[in-house]
Amino acid sequence: MCIKLKDQSVKTKVYSTFESPVLILDTQYLILNTMNNNYDKIANHYDTLSRLVFFKSQVNAQVNQLQYLPKDSSVLIVGGGTGWILEEIAKIYPSGLKLVYVEISAKMIALSQKRNCKSNQVEFVNLGIEDFGTDIVFDVILTPFLFDNFAEQRAAKVFDQLNEYLKKDGLWFLVDFSLNKNNGNWWKWLLLKSMYSFFKLLGIVEANQLIDMHVYFLNEGYKILERRMYYGDFIKAVIFKK
Ligand SMILES: C[S@@+](CC[C@H](N)C(=O)[O-])C[C@H]1O[C@@H](n2cnc3c(N)ncnc32)[C@H](O)[C@@H]1O
């Protein structure tokens, strides 16, 4: 069980008995959560599983977006998984980029550190993005298949945080599953439910449903530069400009 304090100054008392744990909470800031979306448990198999189910769709959706990366830019990657994207980025720009790679899973970070990033500068940060602070304002932010792990409250908070870290006119590469009344076939609902059940069984993912992040971007005045759909419109890749 993970008990995460958002505000370290807040007092909290935790008592437990043999029968059941009793929590006395002094604050609404305490998040009690057994699932924090950390992919440690499946880090070594994640890419194989992804390719088995989605073939190369998850990869293609992200690789296509890389043509929008400006030369010599500063890039924040959140939830990059095993780090294969770093090698794809290095194929386009072998040098000149300043990358910050924030990943909550220590195993994913270890795999990512083995990637060939050529001469780009990469800072690996093994933290949940919620706990990552920076003074840098980035040219580009990548969140590939990040938000579909989150419950609404966390998604909203992380969006606000990342919005602060992105320059005016900066680009945000969003890739996520997409399912709504307009594009919802039975197999997508079934697949989505199966995925959430699988990750719940492993105790990884907190979300029960997809959050529509689109409205967050539109409310903040982002413009869409490109929107592409993959895997029968089940995967949505959007380039937003702030
Ligand atoms: C669905 S996987 C996607 C991995 C990769 N983007 C890809 O497409 O292959 C989500 C990744 O986000 C990471 N993650 C989840 N919550 C996170 C958080 N709050 N901060 C940073 N990374 C997070 C997980 O550990 C996992 O590696």
- Position 34 scores a pLDDT of 60
Contact 22, 56 (CB under 8 A): no
Q: What share of the chain is helix, strand, coil (3-state, %, to 5)?
A: 35, 30, 40
Sheet holding 223-230, edge to edge: 121-125, 98-102, 74-78, 138-144, 166-177, 235-241, 223-230
Q: Are residues 129 and 25 in the same domain?
A: no
Q: Are residues 158 and 175 in the same domain?
A: yes
Residue 224 and residue 145: Cα distance in Å, rounded?
Answer: 18
Whole domain around residue 228: which residue ranges? 40-241
Find out whether the beta carbon of 74 lies less than 6 Å from any atom of ligand 1.
Answer: no
Q: Are residues 197 and 150 in the same domain?
A: yes
pLDDT, tens digit, 9 for 90 and up, residues 183-228: 888 999 999 999 999 999 999 999 999 999 999 999 999 999 999 9
Q: Are residues 58 and 171 in the same domain?
A: yes
Q: Are residues 8 and 63 in the same domain?
A: no
Label the pairing between strands 30-33 and 2-5.
antiparallel
Q: How far is the CA of 191 from the centre of ligand 1 (A)?
A: 19
pLDDT, tens digit, 9 for 90 and up, residues 21-55: 333 333 333 344 567 999 999 999 999 999 999 99
Cα angle value 156/131/68 (rounded, 5°): 65
Q: Are residues 83 and 183 in the same domain?
A: yes
Q: Are residues 10 and 46 in the same domain?
A: no
Q: How far is the CA of 78 from the centre of ligand 1 (A)?
A: 7
pTM: 0.87
Q: How far is the CA of 15 from the centre of ligand 1 (A)?
A: 32
Q: Are residues 56 and 172 in the same domain?
A: yes
Q: Are residues 23 and 124 in the same domain?
A: no
Report how many domains make up the chain.
2
What CATH number corresponds to the domain at position 205? Answer: 3.40.50.150
Contact 159, 215 (CB under 8 A): no
> Hunting for tokens 């969003």 — which residue is that?
174
Q: Are residues 27 and 134 in the same domain?
A: no
Q: Are residues 208 and 88 in the same domain?
A: yes
Q: Are residues 118 and 26 in the same domain?
A: no
Residue 182 and residue 168: Cα distance in Å, rounded?
Answer: 32
Find out whether the beta carbon of 143 lies less than 6 Å from any atom of ligand 1.
Answer: no
pLDDT, tens digit, 9 for 90 and up, residues 128-174: 999 999 999 999 999 999 999 999 999 999 999 999 999 999 999 99
